[in-house]
Structure 1
Amino acid sequence: MDIGIISMRYAKALLAYAREHKAERVVYKELKALSQSFETHPALKKTLDNPVLPAEVKLKLLCSAVSDTCDVSEQYKRFMQLVLKERRENFLQFMCMTYIGLYRKLRHIGVGKLITAVPVDDDTRERIKTAAAERLHARMELQTAVDPSIEGGFIFDINGYRLDASIATQLKKVKQQYIDKNRRIV
């Protein structure tokens, strides 16, 4: 069976179950935290794939990956028990990403990422978030990152589109134009 089909089925089932219990927002936050744990700790996936570990240990690990106190919602806990019972833990990261995508689509949430050379203050961050929300007619989740290699300006990714107004990119363009112009002269 295809990974996409499995993760989509489980994510849709979890979303329906969470909506039935009016806990889809809580589950969304928990799965975002779990997805972040998968990204920051690659050993988590390897540990979950270990067939020697019992399901109880894996469940505690999945709960602690979301919350330090293992204080998670009943819907999250029951879903993880189902995943572990059916031996689908190797698809769990894809299930998280699929659920997050479904929830964002359901709630009309746009996702943006702002990359700057220096940290951005909260006022600027909120203005960008508000302006993007008005353009998209959706609520916005804005992630910020600092990358000194862009030398100045910003790079703004939103729903698959990129606005690159960085100094590094502009310098590359000028350099390429200069090289192209000099090739024609020789």
Structure 2
Amino acid sequence: MDIGIVSMRYAKALMEYAKSTGAEETLYKEFSMLDRSFRKHPDLRMALENPVLTVREKLALICTAAVGDASAGREFTRFITLVLKNRRENFLQYICLGFLGLYRKDKHIGVGKLITAVPVSREVEERIRNSASFLLHAHMELQTEVDPSIRGGFIFDINDFRLDASIATQLKKVKQQFIDKNRRIV
């Protein structure tokens, strides 16, 4: 069975349920944290696929990944229990991404990621967020990341568009130009 079809069916059902109960924002926060946990800890997915763990242990693991020490919301717990009872835990990460995508589309939320060589100030971060919000006519979620390997400049990802103004990329382009030019000479 196709992973995308199963995941989107669950995500759409969860979105409809969240709208009917008014728990969209709470579920969005919980699934955002769960998504971060999946990205940070790839072992989480392997643990969920482990047949030795019981449904209760998997539920506790997922709730801890989503909300930490706080208690998970009723809707979140009910949905995760449904997923576990139907043995769809291997699709949970994709369900999570599908729900986040549907919520962002419904609420007109854009996602951006700014990668810089050194940390940026809050003021610069706010200016970038406001500019992107104005251009996209949407609320922006902006993640910042520091990556010294780009040597300077920045890389800005917004939805499906990438603006790469990093020094490392510029140096690669210059190097490639020299290589191409030297091939023509010989």
Instruction: Give the TM-score taking structure 1 as reference length.
Output: 0.95
Counterpart residue number, 1:137: 137
Counterpart residue number, 1:114: 114
Instruction: Give the TM-score taking structure 2 as reference length.
Output: 0.95
Q: Distance between the aligned counterparts of 2:105 and 2:85, measured in 1?
A: 29
CA positional deviation for 1:3: 0.8
Counterpart residue number, 1:99: 99
CA displacement 1:1-37 (0-9 Å, x = unmatched): 2111110010011111111111111101101111111
The one-letter code of the counterpart of 2:171 is: L
Comparing 72-81 and 164-173, the one that deviates more: 164-173
Counterpart residue number, 1:184: 184
CA positional deviation for 1:167: 1.1
CA positional deviation for 1:178: 2.8
Q: Distance between the aligned counterparts of 1:153 and 1:96, measured in 2?
A: 33
CA positional deviation for 1:70: 4.0
The one-letter code of the counterpart of 2:5 is: I
The one-letter code of the counterpart of 2:76 is: Y
CA positional deviation for 1:182: 3.4
Q: Distance between the aligned counterparts of 1:94 and 1:30, measured in 2?
A: 15
Counterpart residue number, 1:154: 154
Taking only aligned residues, the RMSD between alpha carbons, in angstroms, comes to: 1.2
Please list, as runs of the form range in 1=range in 2, the aligned pairs for 1:48-59 lying within 5 A after superposition. 48-59=48-59
Counterpart residue number, 1:36: 36
The one-letter code of the counterpart of 2:42 is: P
Q: Percent identity?
A: 63
Counterpart residue number, 2:82: 82
**CA shift in 2, pair 1:47/1:182, >3 Å:** closer
Q: Distance between the aligned counterparts of 1:51 and 1:170, measured in 2?
A: 49
CA positional deviation for 1:184: 3.3
Counterpart residue number, 1:168: 168
Equivalenced residue count is: 186
Q: Distance between the aligned counterparts of 2:70 and 2:86, measured in 1?
A: 22
Gaps of 5+ in 1: none
Contact 1:60 1:70 in 2 (8 A): no
Q: Distance between the aligned counterparts of 2:159 and 2:55, measured in 1?
A: 37
Q: Distance between the aligned counterparts of 2:91 and 2:73, measured in 1?
A: 21
CA positional deviation for 1:130: 0.4
CA positional deviation for 1:175: 2.3
